[in-house]
Structures are given as structure tokens and as C-alpha cells.
Structure 1
């Protein structure tokens, strides 16, 4: 069970697709939001809670089936990561956080190239992108299992 973590533009969805190629089921916040017609960032708090509730139900369904699963979301705050840990703990599952460590300039360049063509291409204005980067709470090993990935090549292991 993997939580893919990083700001918009870090390469999370690309990494999640790689995991899908290895047999993981992918649950994507952006894909579910897009499916629901939510096209702008940030998604308002009520809609975000609805999307996360859906992902969590699907996650528990996959866990009960014994599937390998990855949740693709920013997990920008420790509390957002802890909410998923707390959900999984009673089921004996400890998620591994995969942090996409991508330099700020690379993230901003990727976001500037977006054209709003799909859930992995949502336009994020520069001011919003900078706020996301500035507010991002980097996970640390004291939270639980952590793998740091080099987001420049969209998923190479750093540590």
C-alpha cells in the first residue's frame, strides 16, 4: 500500500502509472475530481472531503481483496497522510509514503506547460503553485515508512 506524495507537478501520477504497470490498483484524487466535474484548483474543502471519502472506501475495498494499491494525491500535510494511516491501521496495513522530491523550478516549469486537457493536466496558476510549494509539509521517517524518489526523472529512487 503506497501513498504517492508531492506537490502538483512533482510527477506523482507518472509514478503511480509505473506502479500500475507492476500490478498496483491506482486511486487518484485528481482523476476522481475530474470525473466529478471538478476542474479547478484548489478543489473546495467540501468537494475534497467527498473525493477523499470515495478514495478511502475504494482503498478499503482493495485492502479487503488483498490488492496492492497506490493512492495518488498530494498528501501535502502530515494530517492528510495520518488520516490514511489511521484508516488502514485497524486492517493491519502500514502504508509506505513515496515522496516525489522535485526541484521547485522543475515543478513550476511543468505546471506552466499544462493545458487543462485532463486530470493530470489541470492548470495551476503560478501564484497558486508557489503557495502549494511553500505550504507543503515534507514527510519525515518518524511518520512511518518513507521512500524518497527523484521527481526530475519522474520516479528514480534517491534514498
Structure 2
């Protein structure tokens, strides 16, 4: 599958397989990693990556019940780091975050605008069944890896109940200036 981003084609394997099993969900991390690989002036800020760098792997290096606390800590770090990077004006930033509701998206838009940046909201639009299929595939691929070869992008376990809660709670961006990429 190919996607176009500002005149560049982003390549992604049709079967969505990767060596580490991390590219199989909606594609947020895949897209952000592809952007920084083609645009070295970009810095990627990711809550999952931040948690992994500070605390290790979910349910391996720290207890699963600490995840929410560590995620909140990562979000605080990202908000501050985003503002700092924007004020420096020498790097571009790509945020690898879920932006699951309008309030959350608006919070980041405000930080970006307040610090002299310009935001582009990219919505990766995928059907529920496709997302669940990718989550289960990513989990099974991840579970074949030892801890050394895992990363924060595929660390959190999402069961069917949690996925349903996320799916039902997600507020699709509509009329927010979003760019839509349909995931097939």
C-alpha cells in the first residue's frame, strides 16, 4: 500500500508485516516513523515510546497496574517537550498519539498555536474489524519476540473488552481541519 504525504510516497507492505510486529494497528506509529525517516528535521513524540524509555516494557519491567500512572507522566513530558521544541523553532514535531477525542485534540492544537507552531491533524480511518485484526496479529507477532526485541509501540495488551471501550469512546474528527487517510 502506498500513501502520499506532501508529494512523497510512503510505502507500507500490503500485509502490514514488519520485523518487530509494531506496524499492524491503525498505522499511527508507522506513519510517524516514516515521516521522520524521510524528513530528518522532524522529531517524533510518542507516549508509548516515552513510557518504554523511562520504565521499560509493560508487565515485564513494571507492573501492569502502573501503566496509567506512567502514561500520565509521559503525557506531561510530551506537552512540555512539544512547547519547548516549538519555541526553539529549529525542529518540526510529529505527535504519535491517539487523539481519541476533540477535547484532547484541542488541547494539543492550543499548545502548538500558543508556541508559534502550525498543526496538521491526520486521521487514519479504519474499520473496526480491520483494527481488531491488526491488534491481534500485532500481539501474536510481539509475543514471539524476546524482551530485547520488543519496543514500546507494541507493549500494551489490548483485549477485546478494552478495544470495544476504546472504539466506542473514540470521537472521530469532523470539521476540525483533519486530513483523512483511509486504511484498507
Q: Same fold (TM over 0.5)?
A: yes
CA distances 1:25-69 after superposition (whole Å, capped 9, x unpaired):
11111111222326259942x433321111112212221232111
Coordinate RMSD, CA, aligned: 2.2
When residues 79 and 13 of structure 1 are mapped into structure 2, their CA distance, relative to the original with a 3 A threshold, is: same
Q: Matches of residues 1-159 of structure 1 in structure 2 within 5 Å?
A: 9-23=25-39, 24-37=42-55, 39=58, 40=64, 43-44=67-68, 46-66=69-89, 67-113=91-137, 114=139, 115=142, 117-122=150-155, 123-141=157-175, 143=176, 145-152=177-184
Aligned length: 142
Name the CA distance, whole Å, in 2 between partners of 1:57 and 1:19.
Answer: 22
Q: TM-score, normalised by structure 2?
A: 0.69
31-40 or 77-86, which deviates more: 31-40
SS of the residue aligned with 1:133? helix
SS of the residue aligned with 1:106? helix
Report the counterpart of residue 8 of structure 2 in structure 1: none
When residues 61 and 18 of structure 1 are mapped into structure 2, their CA distance, relative to the original with a 3 A threshold, is: same
Larger Rg: 2
The list of structure 1 runs, each at least 4 consecutive aligned residues, that deviate by more than 3 angstroms after superposition, is 40-43
SS of the residue aligned with 2:121? strand
The answer to whether the 8 Å contact 2:49/2:153 transfers is: yes
When residues 48 and 120 of structure 1 are mapped into structure 2, their CA distance, relative to the original with a 3 A threshold, is: closer
SS of the residue aligned with 1:71? strand
When residues 42 and 104 of structure 1 are mapped into structure 2, their CA distance, relative to the original with a 3 A threshold, is: farther
Name the CA distance, whole Å, in 2 between partners of 1:41 and 1:70.
Answer: 28
